[in-house]
Amino acid sequence: MARLVMKFGGTSVADLDRIRNVAAHVKREVDAGHQVAVVVSAMAGKTNELVALCRGADVLHDAREYDAIVASGEQVTSGLLAIVLQSIGIDARSWQGWQIAIRTDGAHGAARIAEIDGSKLIERLEIGQVAVVAGFQGIAPDNRISTLGRGGSDTSAVALAAAVKADRCDIYTDVDGVYTTDPRIVPKARRLDKVSFEEMLEMASLGSKVLQVRSVELAMVHGVRTFVRSSFEDPAAPRIMPNGDPYGTLICNEDEIVEQQVVTGIAYSKDEAQISLRRVSDKPGVAAAVFGPLAEANINVDMIVQNISSDGAFTDITFTVPMADYEKAVKVVEAGRPGYDFEALESATDVCKVSVIGMGMRSHAGVAAQAFKALAEKGINIRAITTSEIKISVLIDAAYTELAVRTLHSVYELDKS
């Protein structure tokens, strides 16, 4: 007998038929003797609808009321799933974030989980009751509902798994695992049996949409073994891998992965914007004057490139920000102009960040050179570069995204088993 947390995303609970399919998955695990907690998202499209209503009411709406409204989608789904489970003979009860309680900080709309007391749920699980928990939500220090940001149900599930000391957290989605890259761009992309927490964290932060970044961080910190699985498999006869694990991708510690490839996957993100400040006076404190206000405005700066003129008097500073923060970033930079004079501000929104990720890069030389050479041979110009121990990211023109992804996937032989 194991203790499981099962999470189902919006497409998996899009209507009553799919909720019944989810109930069948849950029943399979209960019949196998497992203790089960389920975390659900809102029905597909429902959160977008609720967000639009908030914005329609007032563009500058109160963040606390926003949370009260958008959290209602998960409340509906959790209640419906509990009813369907009861109808097929499963003892189930729905729980909202504040009932558990999932305590968060006070950043309404993008809260972070501070603490979960899993004792109530453990008591229910031990008597055989299935706990159906509304994902994406918690309770802030002001005792009002808070939400965890888009994709927050993944975070809810992993945090709950840690709180109840679950043996496994299964993330059910519309794909059957994590792939070497987007199969829509590279049909030969392979499903990965295992991915390390560190690699998944990079992939999630660099454009892979499979898991929310925060959920991977929590899984890594608390050692929560996490499976990415498909909710559209036959609940009565799910595929099993030769080692007995469910069919999908296991996200785990690096030491569980026997054979580590040099490169594990290629990720890309088109949600990037580039800002360049030309001929900035080169003097101490300029970088702090540029990036300090951006940090205060909660704008995440990623790639930074600085070029100093031959006479040492001026410098060009180029950096990237998320597309959603582009206009805000330009205003912040312009507002700071009295503190650091520059000749011109140039920007581009038709850019894409393509990343090569792999734990094996730590011990292999020449990985970056391979990427740069392959892209050059395809006539793809690199605007900026950033690296870490296990990833290389390049900024390129968005028009070359698919070509770059296919080229890098091929050059590292990721299409070969």
Supply φ then ψ for residue 190, to 5 degrees. -105, 145
Bridge partners (DSSP) of residue 317 are 277, 306
Q: For 303-357, write each residue's pLDDT tens digit.
A: 888 887 666 678 888 999 989 889 999 999 888 777 777 888 898 999 999 999 9
What is the reported pLDDT for 417? Answer: 62
Q: List domains and CATH numbers for the chain.
A: 3-255 (3.40.1160.10), 265-411 (3.30.2130.10)
Max Cα–Cα distance, the chain, nearest Å: 79
Residue 258 has pLDDT above 90, yes or no: no
Mean pLDDT of the chain: 91
Q: Reduced to 3 states, what is the DSSP secondary structure of residue 303?
A: coil
Q: For 179-216, write each residue's pLDDT tens digit.
A: 999 999 999 999 999 999 999 999 988 877 788 889 99
Token readout for 173 is: 């989605």
Residues near 101 by Cβ (< 8 Å), separated by ≥ 6?
116, 117, 138, 139
Mean pLDDT of 216-232: 93
Whether the full predicted model's pTM is greater than 0.75, yes or no, is yes
Q: For 149-190, write each residue's pLDDT tens digit.
A: 888 999 999 999 999 999 999 999 988 999 999 999 999 999
At 176, which amino acid appears? Answer: D
Q: How confident is the model at residue 366 (pLDDT cuts 50, 70, 90)?
A: confident
CA atoms within 13 A on the CB side of 366: 4
Binding residue numbers: 7-10, 47, 74, 173-174, 179, 184, 209-210
Binding residue numbers for ATP: 7-10, 173-174, 179, 184, 209-210
Residue 375 has pLDDT above 90, yes or no: yes
Binding residue numbers for substrate: 47, 74
How big is the chain, counted in residues?
A: 417
Q: 47-61, 93-107, 300-314, 386-400: which range is least confident on average? A: 300-314
Q: Residue holding tokens 């405005």?
A: 297
